[in-house]
Amino acid sequence: MANYEIDPSILEPYLPKGLELDYFQGKTYVSLVGFLFKDTRIFKVPIPKMGTFEEINLRFYVIRKVGNVSKRGVVFINETVPSKVVALVANTLYKEHYSVVPTRRQLIDSVTDKQIVYEWEVNSVWNSMRVTASQQMKEMPTGSFEEFIFEHYYGYTKLSESKSSEYRIVHPRWKISTVSDYHIDCDFKAFYGEAFDCLNHVKPQAVFLAEGSDISVDWKRTKF
């Protein structure tokens, strides 16, 4: 996850109704995320030939306040997968923002560290995220930037200017690895639009690697 500080005014047009931007130490962030769907199932039924695939997404962080409860979640600006079927289902059923491009990944292990590469092709050009990190996993410090980025357990979608939807994401608290090196080669303007051209000219505030885990996503969506 490559995490960039960003002007909150850039995010406001993407903010679903009923939500507020979530700030960390007075700043707002977007994250460019590369990860692997592995053994994906719908209602516990495997998806033949399509259950394992890469996703690259751009997301930001929000809060929904319901009475005295604050629900911390994420909004996806775009989610990129190699499968037309996956994108069609997500976009049709849930009004998500999936796009389809070729993707690929590479994992190189050694005794002390691991190198992970995600790549995706946009306009005949391969974009990439590469990270080198320790094999040793550790807990996220309480109150840390890592905790802020990872500890969001709701997803939100902007259905229209007046309606939003909410779903719950369930997984254990992830462990992280110490990142020793990274390289981000992403044309944010070409893929995410003019508003995100600013990210082409800055370095990420931080780059994190988490181990991941089994995850379940609520099928039912709450509209508000």
Q: What pLDDT is recorded for position 43?
A: 67
Q: Looking at the predicted structure, is the pLDDT value of residue 108 above 80?
A: yes
Least confident window among 16-20, 43-47, 71-75 = 43-47
- Is 177 a member of any domain? yes
- Is 96 a member of any domain? yes
Number of domains in the chain: 1
| Pair of tokens at residue 31 | 């994250």
Q: Looking at the predicted structure, is the pLDDT value of residue 85 above 90?
A: no
Predicted TM-score (pTM) of this structure: 0.92
- Is 15 a member of any domain? yes
Q: What pLDDT is recorded for position 167?
A: 92
For the chain, what is the mean pLDDT? Answer: 93
- Is 117 a member of any domain? no
- Is 127 a member of any domain? no
Q: Which residue has the higher pLDDT, 50 or 32?
A: 32
Q: Which residues contact 124 (CB under 8 A, 6 or more apart)?
A: none
Q: Looking at the predicted structure, is the pLDDT value of residue 222 above 70?
A: yes
- Is 201 a member of any domain? yes
- Is 120 a member of any domain? no
Confidence of residue 110 (pLDDT cuts 50, 70, 90): very high
Q: What pLDDT is recorded for position 48?
A: 67
Least confident window among 44-53, 81-90, 115-124 = 44-53
Q: Report phi then psi at 145, rounded to 5.
A: -65, -40
- Is 116 a member of any domain? no
Q: Looking at the predicted structure, is the pLDDT value of residue 10 above 80?
A: yes
Q: Looking at the predicted structure, is the pLDDT value of residue 45 above 80?
A: no
* Segment 114-150, tens digit of pLDDT: 999 999 999 999 999 999 999 999 999 999 999 999 9
Range of the domain at 174: 2-101+136-223
Q: Looking at the predicted structure, is the pLDDT value of residue 73 above 80?
A: yes
**Considering Cα of 12, then 14, then 17, then 22, what sign does the dihedral take?**
negative
